[in-house]
Amino acid sequence: FSRQGYEDPHWQYPAAGHGHGYPYQSHQWQPAWQDDRDLRQGEPYGKSYRDQHYYRGYHPNLATGPPGKDRTQTYDSYEESYISTARREGTGEEALGSDLGEAGGQPKEPSLLLQYHESGLSSSSHELSQYIRDGADHYDPVLPGSWNVEQTGGPLVSTPTLAVPLKFPQPHVTLCFGARGHLVLACPHRPAEGQLPHVELHSLQAILRGTEEMEELQTFPGPLAREDLHKVDVMTFCQKKITTGCDLSTQRGRDSSLLWKLLVLLCRQNGSMVGSDTAELLMQDCGRQDKYKRQEDPAANLMGLMDDEWASRQPGTLDLITGEVSPIVETQAQIVEKFTKLLYYGRKKDALVWAMKNQLWGHALFLSSKMDSRTYSWVLTGFTSTLATNDPLQTLFQLMSGRIPQAALCCGDATWGDWRPHLAVMLSNKAGDTELNHRAIVTMGDTLASKGAVEAAHFCYLMADTPFGYFEAKADRMVLLGSSHRQAFSQFARAEAIQRMEIFEYCQQLRQPESFLLPFQVYKLLYASLLADHGLPAQALQYCEHISTALLRQDPAAHPVLAQQVVRLAERLKFSDPLLLEMPEQDQALEPDWLEQLRACCREWEVR
């Protein structure tokens, strides 16, 4: 038959002139796959290409025949008929040999099968179909003429057509995930052999029972906006998280525990708190407070005294003013008495030096405050120089002096110790400048965030009432409570972070029932999808309802993609609603009001 400029991968055979290595003799031929050995490997084929799967998969017309007749006999008659028909059509020579075409002055390109043979590939049409499958998919050759009983001398055989190789030669299991928490399995079966299909339904909740992810989802009492929830359940969940999920031996574990304790405090006090409440919470775990090293004797050069002048005021020396010898060991009363005597003689500067040397800072500060401002600053600097750099008192005095405390810029470092006492002193002693207090706390949060202390930074941001942002806006300080949005999304949007954020939103709703966090609604939808994937469709549908309620309070057109995704998920999960299942069959087409309203808003937005 005419190839019309292309090769048929299933029916091409080498020319008769190239008979070396092939079982062709004269004008009779047999398919190469009936040979006893593989031409490429020299190993016997066995019965791999003669079984029913091969004949059915690639040559379905060869799979049928009269009972008791060997398939190879049927195939031999098929081959002879094929050759005789090709010869009658005048194209058999082209199909069987390229030497005839060359004699006619038309050089023929070597057969594609021959090219594979010469390159060392097997001549099996099963293997060739794997190499030239793309060409076979677009070409469906039809043999010229038709077959009948007279031509074959045997039983009636249908018109041969090229069978495209099956993608899966053996029956296999197919599966899909149902919307109501089912895993649907279609088991292997052979309908041609009379086997009935077998479909299995498995509960994902039962399959995943006992896994860490399933336990995390089932222990959370969400959604928290439902009416039958009591806040004690939320507080119990937080306490369990502190006990089991926080390693208090590490700084990060203590910071995470602090966030959970803050949520417990907010839940107990219905979402409201004051600075002293937070300061008490911060100092709960600071029982082993760091001992800040203080300078007992301030340096003489800080006070502006020369070495000889400072030595003249040491114990055991003669006081030229009073004419008395200073005792080696002085009591508190003797120190105050000498301070008073110096003032008798009008020696204010000497009295200030004596008070500063003997830690009478109250006397020194009061006296200097009644003198000029330069002297007051001098005494104040002498007082603060006795404090350690990381002493919380330094933070307080710097804040009250109208400056951003040094601790806000250096906290989180090992040399600075714990950051919580510094935040506690700023929250409990707010200066008159509200903007300065806000800036100092936010600066401390930024410093902690830059050093990887995300939970500690978010605690500071909450104290400064920093708003929540979006994942794409990397400049925003918070998106999910306790999780950094500067990492990969799969690590950022963890179930624990979403749960913690939902508890914070719930605490806000205890104070203002109509409030909600709009940027957080998309993570609720993500959590609902996670519940559906783990076989908890009823809870997932409740989340969809609460998201819809929040969107309908606003303009859903402002967030069209979120609204459409909620509708799409809710339509798949709506039959998990027990109320809908209890309806009569004629009423089961009804949908919840919130779903109809949200869908109507989406359609209105699309029309607009």
pLDDT tens per residue across span 483-503: 999 999 999 999 999 999 999
pLDDT at 320 over 80: no
pLDDT at 107 over 90: no
- Average pLDDT rounded to a whole number, residues 282-291: 69
- Average pLDDT rounded to a whole number, residues 110-118: 48
Model confidence, pTM: 0.66
Q: Where are the domains of the chain?
A: 222-286+387-515
Q: Which residues contact 571 (CB under 8 A, 6 or more apart)?
A: 595
Note the pLDDT tens digit of each residue in 561-579: 999 999 999 999 988 887 7
Which among 537, 510, 541, 506 has a CA at the least distance from the CA of 520? 506
Query: Any idea which of 169-173, 324-328, 402-406 has the lowest mean pLDDT?
Result: 324-328
Note the pLDDT tens digit of each residue in 26-72: 344 444 444 444 444 444 444 443 444 433 444 444 444 444 444 44
What proportion of the chain, given as a percentage, has pLDDT over 90? 36
Q: Is 167 exposed, middle or buried (0-12, 13-18, 19+ CB in 10 A)?
A: exposed
In this predicted model, which residue has the larger pLDDT, 557 or 603? 603
- Spatial separation of the C-alpha atoms in residues 420 and 259, rounded to whole Å: 12
- Spatial separation of the C-alpha atoms in residues 254 and 231, rounded to whole Å: 24
Greatest mean pLDDT range, 16-20, 426-430, 455-459, 534-538: 455-459
In this predicted model, which residue has the larger pLDDT, 536 or 39? 536
Predicted pLDDT at 64: 45
Task: Estimate the share of the chain in helix, then strand, then coil, as percent rounded to the nearest 5.
Answer: 55, 5, 45
Alpha carbon of residue 401 to chain centroid: 45
Sign of CA dihedral 149, 155, 156, 157: negative
Confidence of residue 316 (pLDDT cuts 50, 70, 90): low
Predicted pLDDT at 608: 83
Say which amino acid occupies 290: D
User: How many other CB atoms are there within 10 angstroms of residue 383's CB atom?
Assistant: 19
- Spatial separation of the C-alpha atoms in residues 278 and 92, rounded to whole Å: 96
> What rounded mean pLDDT belongs to the chain?
75
| 3-state secondary structure at position 325 | strand
pLDDT at 328 over 60: no
Note the pLDDT tens digit of each residue in 350-382: 999 999 988 898 999 999 998 998 998 889 888
- Spatial separation of the C-alpha atoms in residues 133 and 143, rounded to whole Å: 19
In this predicted model, which residue has the larger pLDDT, 477 or 177? 477
pLDDT at 504 over 80: yes
Predicted pLDDT at 117: 46
- Spatial separation of the C-alpha atoms in residues 525 and 139, rounded to whole Å: 48
Q: Which helix (H) or strand (E) holds 114?
A: helix 112-118
Predicted pLDDT at 581: 67
Say which amino acid occupies 358: N
What proportion of the chain, given as a percentage, has pLDDT over 70? 65
Alpha carbon of residue 287 to chain centroid: 37
Predicted pLDDT at 173: 87
Cβ 283 vs Cβ 419: under 8 Å: no
Predicted pLDDT at 442: 96
Predicted pLDDT at 41: 42
Predicted pLDDT at 24: 38
Query: Any idea which of 6-20, 161-175, 197-211, 350-364 has the lowest mean pLDDT?
Result: 6-20
Greatest mean pLDDT range, 21-25, 85-89, 381-385: 381-385
β-pairing verdict for 199-203 and 174-177: unpaired
In this predicted model, which residue has the larger pLDDT, 162 or 182? 182
- Spatial separation of the C-alpha atoms in residues 213 and 221, rounded to whole Å: 15
Q: How is 40-89 classified by DSSP, letter by letter?
A: TT--B-TTTTTSHHHHHHH-GGGG---TT--HHHHHHHHHHHHHHHHHHT
Predicted pLDDT at 494: 95
Note the pLDDT tens digit of each residue in 385-399: 888 888 899 999 899
pLDDT at 190 over 50: yes
In this predicted model, which residue has the larger pLDDT, 582 or 404? 404
